[in-house]
């Protein structure tokens, strides 16, 4: 079996009583965190040699995925005067004339005083780093935010239903999307995903749809691609620019898979696990571990994934009275950080279980509900009851009992560009995939 157990989660009762919210009883200390399928539990090596198989890719690009990355121009620091002017322009329709006059006076004093010094510090910092000057403030803003991730940080995007009824039962839908996601992952990891590009010319984007061609990631004709692929990485951006194409930053893709947000008191941290081969599947309060990559790095066939999903769904749901560890990820961040510390203090099995969840390529949530009303369905995808969610993961693939599916993603590691590219590619690949048969 590919499904392996994540150890039981245990924690000292006293620590739980101090760390958890009042509605969560200390009985969590004895609750099973996961269940196993099958009797064989093996701890395979997490490193593997990449094996390139064409069936593992959703596309084969002529331009390597990160070909433009070294030549991208840095985002310029705007002049302070321009920033001040834009601020006044934005405030004008929102405040009274008296307040606007006072705002202009304050802005003038700011630009001539401390604002000038602050601006120069940004310019100096920008000269000393490779990435954008707003990169560090971005991460600090999200990671220092103490509000719960649920509702405040994590959005969701819902997939369109598969028109083939045979592919819309929960097990098949989940297995197909997992398989397509694994294929997208291998495509990205092996540099076979076409770079994100914005085409300004119809002949380059195919239909002249510009932004949408960029989202699909398949714009540009063969001559353009062959030309750019031959350019040294140091100058590749400027070659694309000659064609009226703007390559876009792809650095956020590094946080899409095998990553998680770790709660810490005061400021969270982002962690990467580049050698992981498994995903975590949540159903109710139970967590399952499933390898979707073989030891050589190739993608596990969809039929085998389907077999294991069916086995999970065949097991009885845990009773509602069973405390769910996943709901702790919906707490205020400092509260969750202290709760996590208490769990780790419960013993090495807890730390190992948390590591299995943290290091998963991504998370899957199998819902036992199938809301009919659109608003109720969207709320279920956004947060549900929180019991079978792990909001810290880079993203969660959620599949309801009727086969409707969505992606919920944690926002600190990146913006929606990488998620939306994955979402569109995986959706298209899953729609084109054949009906899976369990193996």
How confident is the model over 29-39, as a mean pLDDT? Answer: 35
- In angstroms, the first-to-last Cα distance of the chain is 11
Residue 48 domain-assigned (yes or no): no
Digit-coded pLDDT (tens) for 223-258: 999 999 999 999 999 999 999 999 999 999 999 999
Regarding whether 376 and 230 lie in a shared domain, the answer is no
Residue 366 domain-assigned (yes or no): yes
**What are the catalytic residues?**
411
Regarding whether 273 and 125 lie in a shared domain, the answer is no
3-state secondary structure of 286: strand
Regarding whether 267 and 411 lie in a shared domain, the answer is yes
Regarding whether 103 and 177 lie in a shared domain, the answer is no
Q: Do the beta carbons of residue 10 and residue 337 sit within 8 Å?
A: no
Regarding whether 180 and 150 lie in a shared domain, the answer is yes
H or E segment to which residue 202 belongs: helix 202-205
Residue 3 domain-assigned (yes or no): no
**Which pTM was predicted?**
0.84
Residue 201 domain-assigned (yes or no): no
Regarding whether 388 and 239 lie in a shared domain, the answer is no
Residue 241 domain-assigned (yes or no): yes
More reliable by pLDDT, 251 or 220:
251
Regarding whether 297 and 168 lie in a shared domain, the answer is yes
Regarding whether 177 and 84 lie in a shared domain, the answer is no
Regarding whether 161 and 96 lie in a shared domain, the answer is no
Digit-coded pLDDT (tens) for 271-303: 999 999 999 999 999 999 999 999 999 999 999
Residue 409 domain-assigned (yes or no): yes
Q: Do the beta carbons of residue 427 and residue 163 sit within 8 Å?
A: no
Number of domains in the chain: 3
Digit-coded pLDDT (tens) for 86-144: 999 999 999 999 999 999 999 999 999 999 999 999 999 888 777 788 888 999 999 99
CATH of the domain at 290: 3.30.559.70
Residue 25 domain-assigned (yes or no): no
Given the DSSP bridges, would you call strands 363-366 and 278-283 parallel, antiparallel or unpaired?
parallel
Q: Which two tokens stand for residue 332?
A: 């205020």
Regarding whether 158 and 306 lie in a shared domain, the answer is yes
Regarding whether 428 and 280 lie in a shared domain, the answer is yes
**Domain containing 106: what range?**
80-131
Regarding whether 333 and 265 lie in a shared domain, the answer is yes
Residues in CB range of 339: below 8 A, 6 or more apart: 16, 19, 20, 328, 331
Residue 219 domain-assigned (yes or no): yes
């Amino acid at each position: 079996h590919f499904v392996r157990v994540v150890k039981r989660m245990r924690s000292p009762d006293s620590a739980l009583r101090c760390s958890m919210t009042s509605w969560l009883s200390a009985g969590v200390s004895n609750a099973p965190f996961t269940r196993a399928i099958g009797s064989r539990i093996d701890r395979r090596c997490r490193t593997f040699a990449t094996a390139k198989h064409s069936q593992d890719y959703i596309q084969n690009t002529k331009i390597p995925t990160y070909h433009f990355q070294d030549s991208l121009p840095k985002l310029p620091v705007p002049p302070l005067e321009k920033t001040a002017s834009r601020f006044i322009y934005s405030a004008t329709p929102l405040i009274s004339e008296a307040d606007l006059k006072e705002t202009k006076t304050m802005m003038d004093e700011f630009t001539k005083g401390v604002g000038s010094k602050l601006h120069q510090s940004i310019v100096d910092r920008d000269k000393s780093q490779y990435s954008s000057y707003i990169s560090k403030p971005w991460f600090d803003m999200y990671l220092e935010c103490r509000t719960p991730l649920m509702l405040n940080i994590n959005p969701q995007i819902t997939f369109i239903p598969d028109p083939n009824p045979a592919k819309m039962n929960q097990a098949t839908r989940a297995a197909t999307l997992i398989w397509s996601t694994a294929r997208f992952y291998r495509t990205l990891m092996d540099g076979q995903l076409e770079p994100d590009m914005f085409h300004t010319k119809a002949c380059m984007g195919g239909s002249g749809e510009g932004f949408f061609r960029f989202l699909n990631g398949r714009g540009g004709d063969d001559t353009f691609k062959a030309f750019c692929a031959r350019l040294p990485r140091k100058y590749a951006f400027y070659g694309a620019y000659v064609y009226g194409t703007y390559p876009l930053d792809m650095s956020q893709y590094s946080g899409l898979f095998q990553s998680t947000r770790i709660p810490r008191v005061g400021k969270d941290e982002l962690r990467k696990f580049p050698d992981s081969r498994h995903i975590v599947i949540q159903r109710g309060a139970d967590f399952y571990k499933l390898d979707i990559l073989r030891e050589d790095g190739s993608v596990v066939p969809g039929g085998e994934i389907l077999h294991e999903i069916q086995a999970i769904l065949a097991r009885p749901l845990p009773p509602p009275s069973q405390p769910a560890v996943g709901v702790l990820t919906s707490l205020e961040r400092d509260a969750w950080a202290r709760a996590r510390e208490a769990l780790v203090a419960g013993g090495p099995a807890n730390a190992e279980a948390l590591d299995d969840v943290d290091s998963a390529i991504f998370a899957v949530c199998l819902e036992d509900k199938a809301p009919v009303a659109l608003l109720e369905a969207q709320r279920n995808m956004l947060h549900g009851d929180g019991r079978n969610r792990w909001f810290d993961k880079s993203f969660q693939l959620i599949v309801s009992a009727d086969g409707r599916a969505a992606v919920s993603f944690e926002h600190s590691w990146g913006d929606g560009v990488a998620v939306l590219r994955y979402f569109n590619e995986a959706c298209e690949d899953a729609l084109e995939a054949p009906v899976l048969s369990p193996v």
